């Protein structure tokens, strides 16, 4: 939430996009792997990284 300056409205608006993209990812990766389309696999994984950072899912708190 800190990345969005505490703007919960932006977070709530972006979360459905994250979920939709996340749900489509396994199918896309399987198809790309079957076709050995490594550029697309790299793009998908880069997109996943960006989405997780954008929604702060990938961020862990220090213990």
Digit-coded pLDDT (tens) for 31-63: 999 999 999 999 999 988 887 777 665 455 544
Query: What local confidence, expressed as pLDDT, does residue 22 receive?
Result: 87
Confidence bin at 1 (pLDDT 50/70/90): low
Q: Where are the alpha helices (DSSP H) in the chain?
A: 8-34, 38-54
Query: What local confidence, expressed as pLDDT, does residue 57 receive?
Result: 55
Q: Domain range for residue 7?
A: 2-54
**pLDDT at residue 15 greater than cutoff 80:** yes
> Is 63 inside a domain boundary?
no
> Is 59 inside a domain boundary?
no
Query: What local confidence, expressed as pLDDT, does residue 60 receive?
Result: 52
User: How far is residue 26's CA from residue 38's CA, in Å, rounded to a whole number?
Assistant: 14
Count of domains for the chain: 1
Distance of CA 22 to the CA centre of its chain: 6
Q: Which tokens hold the place of 18?
A: 């994250």
Query: What local confidence, expressed as pLDDT, does residue 56 receive?
Result: 64
> Is 41 inside a domain boundary?
yes
């Amino acid at each position: 939430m800190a990345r969005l300056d505490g703007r919960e409205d932006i977070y709530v608006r972006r979360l459905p996009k994250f979920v939709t993209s996340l749900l489509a990812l396994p199918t896309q990766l399987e198809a790309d792997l079957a076709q050995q389309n490594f550029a697309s696999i790299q793009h998908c994984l880069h997109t996943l990284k960006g989405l997780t950072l954008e929604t702060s899912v990938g961020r862990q708190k220090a213990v």
